[in-house]
Chains A and B, each alone.
Chain A
Amino acid sequence: GAVVSQHPSRVICKSGTSVKIECRSLDFQATTMFWYRQFPKQSLMLMATSNEGSKATYEQGVEKDKFLINHASLTLSTLTVTSAHPEDSSFYICSAQRGGGNTEAFFGQGTRLTVV
């Protein structure tokens, strides 16, 4: 099956700093990738859609200036959490689909962010 790789798997940072998370499609090209967030004991919620070569689309309530998304190539999307606060502590996970819409989605391993 398709493989999506995410790095790092776990990060601890200080309040006010920025953290970058990478999401790579390893064996296919993805013009679109998706970023989700999951708080403890809750479900996954879509944060934003990352579009190769254009601006990301953010879901309502997600601050685009705080969560910077860059999709500079067909195999890499990055999510940067800027000026991190403790309430940004969460599990962040990306996904991509090999064949575009209405095809099977594959997820990265996820990144557990703790802001202290």
Chain B
Amino acid sequence: GIQVEQSPPDLILQEGANSTLRCNFSDSVNNLQWFHQNPWGQLINLFYIPSGTKQNGRLSATTVATERYSLLYISSSQTTDSGVYFCAVPFNQAGTALIFGKGTTLSVSS
């Protein structure tokens, strides 16, 4: 089955710093999502990004489907950005259930 790898596994930043999180996947996909899991466990949708680049405030994401990777950029990080960031792709071409990477745990200190 398809494999999803995220890097780095852990990231520690000072408030105001920028960061790039990476997601590699082993097979072609029709969509990709980025999530932020907050301390209470809730998954917050960040981006639905099968290809191209999207921006939402201080966050942006780029997916290069032909090269099987996606990047999540966080600029001017804030303490509230702390948590775990997951990328996920569909199990199969039907695009239903998702397979998740192991996540990047981000800690932002003031």
Residue in A1, A38, A42, A95 whose beta carbon sits within 8 Å of that of B98 in the complex: A95
Interface readout for A33-61 with B: 1 if CB under 8 Å, 0 if not?
01000100011111001000000000000
Interface contact B95-A34, CB-CB below 8 Å: no
Residue pairs across A and B with CB atoms within 8 Å: the count is 62
Q: Please count how many residues in chain B sit with their CB below 8 Å of the partner chain's CB atoms.
A: 24
Min distance, Cβ B93 to any Cβ of chain A, angstroms: 8
Q: A110-B41, A112-B41 are in contact. List 20 more A-B contacts (CB 8 A).
A: A32-B96, A34-B98, A42-B102, A43-B86, A43-B102, A44-B88, A44-B100, A46-B91, A46-B99, A49-B97, A93-B41, A97-B96, A100-B96, A102-B90, A104-B31, A104-B33, A105-B33, A109-B40, A109-B42, A110-B40
Q: Does B14 belong to the interface (CB within 8 Å)?
A: no
Show the binding face of A for B, using Cβ within 8 Å. 1, 32, 34, 38, 42-46, 49, 91, 93, 95, 97, 100-107, 109-110, 112
The CA-CA distance from A105 to B45 in the complex, in Å, is: 8
Majority secondary structure of chain B interface residues (helix, strand, loop or mixed): loop
Residue of B30, B90, B96, B99 most packed against chain A (CB within 10 A): B96
**A101 adjacent to B94 (CB under 8 Å):** yes
Residues in chain B within 8 A of chain A (CB atoms): 30-31, 33, 35, 40-43, 45, 48, 86, 88, 90-91, 94-103
Which residue of A34, A42, A107 contacts B97 across the interface (Cβ within 8 Å)? A34
Listed by A's residue number, 12 A-B pairs whose Cβ atoms lie within 8 Å are A1-B45, A43-B102, A44-B100, A91-B41, A100-B96, A101-B90, A101-B96, A102-B94, A104-B31, A106-B45, A107-B43, A107-B45
